[in-house]
Amino acid sequence: MQTKLICSDIDGTLLNKDRELSVRTILAIKNISPIPFILISSRMPIAMLHLQKELNITHLPMIAYNGGLIIDQNKVLHSTEIDQSIAEDIFHFCKNTNLHLSLYHGNEWYVPVMDHWAKRESNNTKITPQVQDIEITLKNWKSENKGAHKIMVMGNENEIDKLATLIETDFNENIIGYRSKSTYLEISHKNISKKTAIEQLIYQKYPNLSLKNILAFGDNYNDIEMLISVGLGIAVQNAIKEVLQISKQITNSNIDDGVARFLEKIH
């Protein structure tokens, strides 16, 4: 296989225990240039931009929200949003629980209160959300004809289980929930994935490439389809067992510079 483009998940895959890029990882990625290195994550774009700057790849596209938004130097190449009515239904379910619900659109992140969950996510991504009542946010977005690129729900595992079940039974044709942790549920539009986003990126930016020319790294459920579909899907050692089982190869863990070590071998 001739690698002509590399895609990597961020959290749990590319970043170290401090949720930062190690010096070794930065150097390894710079050394594989001019092969494009594309960040692909459930994060919002602004939470990926500082990593692009460290890697000197701001001239390259990024894939945010698990494929819900593809951006190339501030130009939107592709966008898929969750329908407003579904976002309202999810909000009304969470309203009767202790769950924390965040709404994301582009570089907007709204939380109802700066509680434990919001502070933890803010610390993880180095982004500060806007505090605003979710009902007001939904009302504003409705008037602006905007939907959510992602809905993040955090909280008690049992309550998250109930919401996940609701999504599977009542909304399975429209949205999908990814459990990045037992206490985290990331909700995206059903029609998008990291695989579909890469296909869209190829179509618009790299028409001479195919999935077979792509090397990808990942660690979690939302990486599985991508890792299966590309020419070479690599799991980091700390990946969940489902990812380890389907990956073509396994590299070291994220805290042991797994991505960097693999890139050093193929460069």
Residue 172 shares a structural domain with residue 196: no
Residue 99 shares a structural domain with residue 66: no
Kindly state the tokens that stand for 229: 């579909």
- β 69-72/62-64 pair status: antiparallel
Question: Which of 127, 158, 189 represents a domain boundary (last residue)?
Answer: 189
Q: Distance between CA atoms of 181 and 221, rounded to whole angstroms? A: 10
Specify the CATH number for the domain of residue 101. Answer: 3.30.1240.10
252: nearest Cα among 5, 28, 2? 28
Based on its alpha-carbon atoms, the radius of gyration of the chain, rounded to whole angstroms, reads 18
Work out the pLDDT band at 74, boundaries 50, 70, 90: confident
DSSP secondary structure, 18-58, as one string? TSS--HHHHHHHHHTTTS-EEEB-SS-THHHHHHHHHHT-T
Q: How far is CA 250 from CA 157, 186, 230, 234, 263, in A?
A: 30, 25, 15, 6, 12
Q: Distance between CA atoms of 114 and 122, rounded to whole angstroms? A: 9
Q: Judge whether residue 1 has pLDDT over 80.
A: no
Give backbone dihedrals phi and psi of 178, rounded to 5 degrees, phi first.
Answer: -105, 130
Residue 138 shares a structural domain with residue 51: no
In the chain, the amino acid numbered 231 is G
Specify the pTM: 0.94
Range of the domain at 196: 5-79+192-266
Residue 249 shares a structural domain with residue 182: no
For the stretch 198-253, pLDDT in tens is 999 999 999 999 999 999 999 999 999 999 999 999 999 999 999 999 999 999 99
Question: Which of 189, 217, 242 represents a domain boundary (last residue)?
Answer: 189
Other CB atoms within 10 A of residue 162 CB = 13
For the stretch 37-72, pLDDT in tens is 999 999 999 999 999 999 999 999 999 999 999 999
Our count of domains for the chain comes to: 2
Give the pLDDT of residue 266: 87
Residue 58 shares a structural domain with residue 9: yes
Mean pLDDT, the chain, integer: 95
Evaluate the CA torsion angle 46, 47, 53, 58 in order and state its sign: negative
Residue 111 shares a structural domain with residue 176: yes
Specify the CATH number for the domain of residue 202. Answer: 3.40.50.1000
Give the pLDDT of residue 131: 97
Residue 124 shares a structural domain with residue 210: no
Residue 198 shares a structural domain with residue 183: no
For the stretch 17-36, pLDDT in tens is 999 999 999 999 999 999 99
Q: Distance between CA atoms of 93 and 96, rounded to whole angstroms? A: 6
Write the CB contacts of 26 (distance below 8 Å, at least 6 apart in sequence).
Answer: 54, 55
Residue 158 shares a structural domain with residue 183: yes
Assess contact for 248 and 232: CB atoms under 8 A: yes
Question: Which of 170, 189, 208 represents a domain boundary (last residue)?
Answer: 189
Residue 174 shares a structural domain with residue 234: no
264: nearest Cα among 14, 50, 6, 31? 31
Residue 196 shares a structural domain with residue 74: yes
Assess contact for 189 and 174: CB atoms under 8 A: yes
Residue 96 shares a structural domain with residue 160: yes
